[in-house]
């Protein structure tokens, strides 16, 4: 019987997730309303089952209403947030809260009617309606708190578990569902005298449910919807100023940064931003006879890092390089990821000799942490300065890029500039 109960719980979870994930997937064609309505229509059933329908497992008693339906609802709201934004995720959360408070208000009015029975013995059980109404309100209040908490915890864990999506989902779900179990059991014990075994059994079942739903969500995100779509629900001054608005504002601000000049992997400016800022710098500095230096930087033998250690390690190397370069720059310098493993530094008011010294300092910084942070990789740098060596950005970049390739062809781990003298060893002399 126990094995049958476990199999039935897994089948219920799979059915619930398959239907809800299908509705979420179809939101682009049919709208999000189908998904939200399905979330709401299940609330009475899950509350009813959580109050009266229990099964026995080795670790205690539990209700499929809490284990499958409520846990699944909370995890689906989190998945809605992941795939859309906080404004969209707010809709079922607020809708359920308001709807169930409305139920209690209507019940208070309905009980004042003089009831006319339609058949012998067919009178409404108002005590049952009262109990269910208050349990639904309490459960929805918990859901409101749980939904905010799971979104905030998921965001918080992103700093440490960004590359471990399953663990991030599971920890978020298990922690919040543990809190929910304590809260709902308190009300259930007060109303119906539920035994403590139901508390322990329900808690363990919800942790297991968080594991199962996290696994299914990761599979969905990886194989069904790989990329997060751009936000399609603009906010304006009429939006409610709450935590969901704040979250959405932050998400869209970060998306805006990515779309307007930031490389999403390293955080450095991107190639498009280089072209815009270089044009401004030429107009500002070169036309007033101020020097403008450009450093073209390339990671030596970076392909071998990807081939030997994989692209994740390669991404880590790119991130470490961006951080190391940024730390070695002046406050006026700007770092750009030009493409692949190539970076560019734009240095206003920096002459040829000083630019060569800056490049050498950056090369040494990378060299000193080569084995620890860069898997043995080094960098080569080509330096050029306007207006001494070029009168426009394209010519300046071409000059620095040619010197970069000269450095790589001469043994790598070098700086080549107008003031460099290449030697057999990877060092640079500044005349």
Is residue 427, in this structure, part of any structural domain at all?
no
Per-residue pLDDT, averaged over 398-427, amounts to 80
Q: Which of 79, 322, 30, 34 is nearest to 219 (CA)?
A: 79
What's the pLDDT band for 248 if we cut at 50, 70, 90? Answer: low
* Total number of domains constituting the chain: 2
Provide Rg for the chain, Cα atoms: 31
How many other CB atoms are found less than 10 A from the CB of residue 373? 16
Domain span at residue 383 reads: 265-416
Q: Of the candidates 191, 221, 255, which is a domain's last residue?
A: 255
Q: State pLDDT tens for residues 249-264.
A: 555 555 555 556 888 8
pLDDT at 337: 94
Is residue 114, in this structure, part of any structural domain at all?
no
Is residue 380, in this structure, part of any structural domain at all?
yes
Strand-pairing partners, residue 56, are 61
The percent of residues in the chain predicted with pLDDT above 90, rounded, is 38
Q: Which of 9-18, 53-62, 160-169 has the highest mean pLDDT?
A: 9-18
83 with 182, same domain?
yes
Per-residue pLDDT, averaged over 236-241, amounts to 43
pLDDT at 69: 93
pLDDT at 46: 84
Per-residue pLDDT, averaged over 174-199, amounts to 82
Is residue 431, in this structure, part of any structural domain at all?
no
pLDDT, greater one: 365 or 123: 365
187 with 317, same domain?
no
pLDDT at 213: 96
pLDDT at 310: 87
pLDDT, greater one: 264 or 342: 342
Q: Of the candidates 255, 283, 314, which is a domain's last residue?
A: 255
246 with 361, same domain?
no
Weakest-pLDDT range from 26-40, 111-125, 239-253, 283-297: 239-253
Q: What's the CA gap between 67 and 77, in Å, rounded?
A: 16
Q: State pLDDT tens for residues 352-364.
A: 999 999 999 999 9
Question: Residue 357 sits in a domain of what CATH number?
Answer: 3.30.70.270
Q: Per-residue pLDDT for 269 more than 60?
A: yes
43 with 76, same domain?
yes
Q: Per-residue pLDDT for 425 more than 50?
A: no
Is residue 421, in this structure, part of any structural domain at all?
no
250 with 276, same domain?
no
What's the pLDDT band for 216 if we cut at 50, 70, 90? Answer: very high
Reported as half-sphere exposure (CB side, CA atoms, 13 A), residue 313 has a value of 15
Strand-pairing partners, residue 334, are 346
100 with 176, same domain?
yes
25 with 172, same domain?
yes
Q: What's the CA gap between 338 and 298, in Å, rounded?
A: 10
Which stretch of DSSP H or E encloses residue 55?
A: strand 55-57
Q: Per-residue pLDDT for 245 more than 70?
A: no
Q: Of the candidates 221, 255, 289, which is a domain's last residue?
A: 255
Q: Per-residue pLDDT for 431 more than 60?
A: no
103 with 215, same domain?
yes
Is residue 239, in this structure, part of any structural domain at all?
yes
Is residue 428, in this structure, part of any structural domain at all?
no
- The mean predicted confidence, pLDDT, of the chain is 83
Which DSSP letter does residue 428 get? Answer: B
Q: Which of 181, 191, 82 is nearest to 133 (CA)?
A: 191
- Whether the link from the prior residue into 173 is cis, omega within 30° of 0, is no
| Beta carbons of 294 and 417 less than 8 angstroms apart | no
Is residue 233, in this structure, part of any structural domain at all?
yes
pLDDT at 251: 54
pLDDT, greater one: 280 or 402: 402
216 with 291, same domain?
no
Q: Decide: pTM greater than 0.75.
A: no
Per-residue pLDDT, averaged over 222-233, amounts to 60
Q: What's the CA gap between 59 and 202, in Å, rounded?
A: 9
Pick left, alpha or beta for residue 57 (phi over 0 → left; psi -120 to 50 → alpha; otherwise beta). Answer: beta
235 with 349, same domain?
no
285 with 231, same domain?
no
pLDDT at 243: 59
332 with 227, same domain?
no
């Amino acid at each position: 019987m126990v094995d049958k109960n476990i199999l039935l719980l897994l089948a219920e979870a799979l059915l619930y997730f398959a239907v809800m994930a299908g509705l979420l997937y179809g939101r682009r064609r049919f709208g999000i309303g189908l998904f939200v309505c399905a979330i709401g229509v299940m609330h009475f059933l899950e509350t009813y089952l959580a109050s009266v329908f229990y099964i026995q497992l080795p670790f205690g008693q539990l209700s499929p209403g809490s284990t499958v339906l409520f846990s699944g609802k909370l995890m689906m709201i989190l998945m809605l947030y992941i795939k859309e934004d906080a404004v969209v995720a707010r809709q079922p959360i607020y809708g359920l809260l308001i709807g169930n408070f409305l139920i209690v208000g209507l019940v208070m009015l309905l009980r004042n009617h003089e009831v006319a029975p339609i058949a012998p013995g067919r009178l409404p059980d108002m005590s049952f309606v009262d109990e269910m109404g208050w349990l639904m309100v309490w459960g929805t209040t918990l859901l409101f708190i749980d939904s905010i908490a799971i979104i905030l915890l998921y965001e918080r864990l992103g700093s440490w578990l960004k590359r471990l999506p399953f663990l991030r989902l599971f920890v978020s779900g298990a922690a919040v569902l543990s809190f929910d179990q304590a809260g709902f059991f308190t009300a259930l014990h007060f109303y119906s005298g539920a035994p403590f075994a139901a508390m322990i059994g329900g808690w363990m079942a919800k942790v297991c449910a968080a594991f199962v739903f996290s696994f299914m969500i990761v599979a969905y995100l990886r194989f069904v919807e790989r990329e997060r779509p751009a936000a399609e629900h603009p906010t304006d001054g009429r939006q409610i100023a709450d935590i969901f608005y704040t979250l959405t504002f932050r998400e869209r601000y970060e998306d805006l940064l990515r779309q307007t000049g930031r490389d999403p992997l390293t955080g450095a400016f991107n190639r498009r931003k280089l072209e815009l800022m270089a044009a401004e710098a030429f107009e500002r500095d070169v036309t007033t006879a101020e020097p403008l230096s450009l450093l073209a930087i390339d990671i030596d033998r970076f392909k071998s890092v990807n081939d030997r250690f994989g692209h994740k390690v390669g991404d880590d190397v790119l991130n470490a390089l961006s951080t190391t370069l940024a730390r070695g720059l002046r406050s006026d310098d700007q770092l750009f990821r030009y493409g692949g493993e190539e970076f560019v530094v734009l240095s206003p008011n920096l002459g040829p000799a000083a630019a060569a010294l800056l490049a050498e300092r950056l090369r040494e910084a990378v060299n000193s942490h080569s084995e620890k942070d860069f898997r043995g990789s080094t960098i080569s740098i080509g330096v050029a300065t306007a207006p001494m060596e070029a009168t426009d950005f394209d010519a300046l970049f071409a000059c620095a890029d040619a010197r970069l390739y000269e450095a790589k062809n001469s043994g790598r781990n070098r700086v080549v500039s107008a003031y460099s003298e290449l030697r057999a060893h990877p060092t640079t002399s500044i005349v």
